[in-house]
Structure 1
């Protein structure tokens, strides 16, 4: 089925017509994640979750972003009710990694690593810092100069107490090349980089 027909059908099934394409998802996620706060942020991410829930494995880039959106919503929602969305994100990332871990420069590897680091461990959820470290290293190897791969591994290392290594990665993330069309996300991430450097005493 042609991609544009699939997009139209997804819109009709949800009761509204919208384009599920990568640049649109990335832009709307950045707006929700960085421009909104509190309840507004949670509601904006929830809407994106609803709009992407029918996405399957046909497009691994879109599936990666389905995972990122569910993961972001889980973080914004918090509490036990967030675990459903963390598990949805985990399933999406695992499906991408199983088919092609290099999709979007290994974004699913990094994002799954973040999930393993952020969610609670057993018996509440699946959190596991050993798995997180392995996935974040693999994500960094897939995208050694990326802003996200460096930032998230740095965040993990900072939480583990390795401030020197975290600082190195943050300084590298700060120098990452701008991503065309993703200016809002870059500005938001750079703000997070600066905040973490300040926290580490840089």
Structure 2
């Protein structure tokens, strides 16, 4: 029991990471004017989030629970609890996994609406290059990036499965995080959870 409590405390240190958000916001702020001035390329037609999902059905756990916040609906398990963390739209945590969701509204950044999902993914890669991100991949129709982060305060290394969505009014970045050594047992579930994310207007 003590070991479980220690792991929960260690995982909660993930919540202390302010990696992507501040860097991403400043990067998008700096890039938006040049992108807005480029009128040679038509904007990507905005598709509902469902169009990025794979046709096959994801595995839904028996203890699944749907959480809804700010227009995003995510199916996790009843082991998760919602919490607030500065810089993110909404977050959820269980004993082994943390989920961080960030909504980047088009209204907040000039020219952001003109970015394609792939271009948004390239910005995410650029601002996270210190964390050794892999390229933007497509798994079962879900645009995603994986990367690791070593917390120098605890010595723990975390691995992130980050999924990207473009909806009518915003980009969404949803990060599933766990200890690096536990990532392989969670990756398939992360993919299934990512497939079940939907957005309401």
TM-score after normalising by structure 2: 0.26
TM-score after normalising by structure 1: 0.26
